[in-house]
Amino acid sequence: MSWATGHAGRLPHRERSARTVVLEAPQYVPALLASDVVDAATVVFTPGHSGVTDGPLIVGYEGSLSELGVEFSHDPGFYLQIQAYGLSQYMSVAGPTVIRVAGDTDFETYLRDADQARHEGVFTDFLTNPMIQLADLPALGAGPEGDGPSLRLHVGQSGELSTSPGGKRLGTAGDSFEQIAAEWARINSESTQPCAVCLGGWLPETTRAPALAERPWLGRYLAALDGIRTLRARGLNVTGVSGFGGRLVTALSELPDAADVMDPALPLLLWTDEAVYAHSSRQGRTFQLKHDTAELAEALLVCGSVEAAVRIGDREDLKRVQALFDAAGIKLSSGALIGSGEG
């Protein structure tokens, strides 16, 4: 999943080789193994391969991880569907599925769904299914943290290398890791939005970058999808997400320049008919809150500090809630200091 999504999660960072490499053609395995792109800790997926090496773990597979509408399997017990974003709303989810934004039309549909969630609080059902993973998150607004050649690489039918099947070319199988990493950095340096690589072969940067610039909240949207999927996997029906169509505290909906609009690292508040939950997508943690605690947490998130949030709640109560989240290792503000009076 880290290879498909471009999201490292809590995986430890690597610097000088790729964590996972997927090949579309087995003839490039020797060139790959002869390079420093892989080491003993790399996992390499290649069609039909069943051999053993002294280096990376090589896993044979059938199907494809890049071709839309095709099933991927690497053992008799695991099957993964690969679908295009624009068609997914019309297809049933039969098992684990990766959804790819594979061109302009898919991207337009993705943006339409995100806008609807942001303004109306209505999230597309298939995206919140726990069996679904949206691919190439860094290019869709999640930011580049953790992604790059050290996390994932794809080797196409002609030996071309990128971080994903729809990505811009970074080199050829056999190139050094330094060359590939330098090209990845160069391409990204020429764009105003991260990441310009992993969808660059399918989506023009002149289309993608302006759309992301107009929606600086897309990282929060993707984190919200993650939170809803997490709760749905537990059998809970999410009826609202703070900042998407409304707030727990109605007065907070009317405040301009909310401090929690753009930072996907901040926790999200989600609620069902019975309870409120805080979800940290970056840490992969979710916990239930008392309703009054959730309202104070929302005030801190929206206002950005204790001092700014006193218009909503009592100062000492706000400090108490801030301390509870601090103790859990989750910050309620993007600023260096909460309660300093600086939003």
- Residues 299-322 have a mean pLDDT of 95
pLDDT in tens, 260-297: 999 989 999 999 999 999 999 988 899 999 999 999 99
Together in a domain, 165 and 56 = yes
pLDDT over 50 at 337, yes or no = no
pLDDT value for 49: 74
**Domain ranges, residue 187:** 2-71+134-213
Please check whether residue 230 lies inside any domain of the structure: yes
Sign (positive/negative) of CA torsion 102, 107, 112, 113?
Answer: positive
At 256, the pLDDT band (50, 70, 90 cuts) reads confident
pLDDT over 50 at 254, yes or no = yes
- Residues 330-343 have a mean pLDDT of 56
Together in a domain, 309 and 191 = no
For the chain, percent of residues with pLDDT exceeding 90: 83
Together in a domain, 162 and 199 = yes
Together in a domain, 254 and 169 = no
pLDDT value for 342: 36
pLDDT in tens, 7-37: 988 788 888 899 999 999 999 999 999 999 9
Together in a domain, 315 and 243 = yes
- Residues 316-338 have a mean pLDDT of 85
Of 163, 195, 213, the last residue of a domain is 213
pLDDT in tens, 227-245: 999 999 999 999 999 999 9
Sign (positive/negative) of CA torsion 129, 131, 135, 141?
Answer: positive
pLDDT in tens, 144-180: 788 999 999 999 999 999 999 999 999 999 999 999 9
For the chain, percent of residues with pLDDT exceeding 70: 96
Together in a domain, 193 and 253 = no
Of 186, 213, 240, the last residue of a domain is 213
Please check whether residue 81 lies inside any domain of the structure: no
55, 18, 5: which is closest to 161 by C-alpha? 18
At 55, the pLDDT band (50, 70, 90 cuts) reads confident
User: Rounded mean pLDDT of the chain?
Assistant: 92
Together in a domain, 288 and 201 = no
pLDDT over 80 at 50, yes or no = no
Q: Which helix (H) or strand (E) segment is 285 a member of? A: strand 285-289
Together in a domain, 266 and 316 = yes
Cα distances (Å, whole numbers) of residue 330 to 21, 281, 286, 336: 33, 11, 11, 13
What is the total count of domains within the chain? 2
Tell me the two tokens of residue 191: 């764009």
- Residues 68-79 have a mean pLDDT of 88
pLDDT over 50 at 339, yes or no = no
Together in a domain, 205 and 226 = no
**Rg from Cα positions in the chain:** 21
DSSP state string for 2-30: HHHH---TTPPP-SSS-SEEEESSGGGHH
pLDDT over 50 at 47, yes or no = yes
pLDDT over 60 at 338, yes or no = no
pLDDT over 90 at 136, yes or no = yes
pLDDT value for 53: 66
Together in a domain, 234 and 290 = yes
Residue type, 255: L
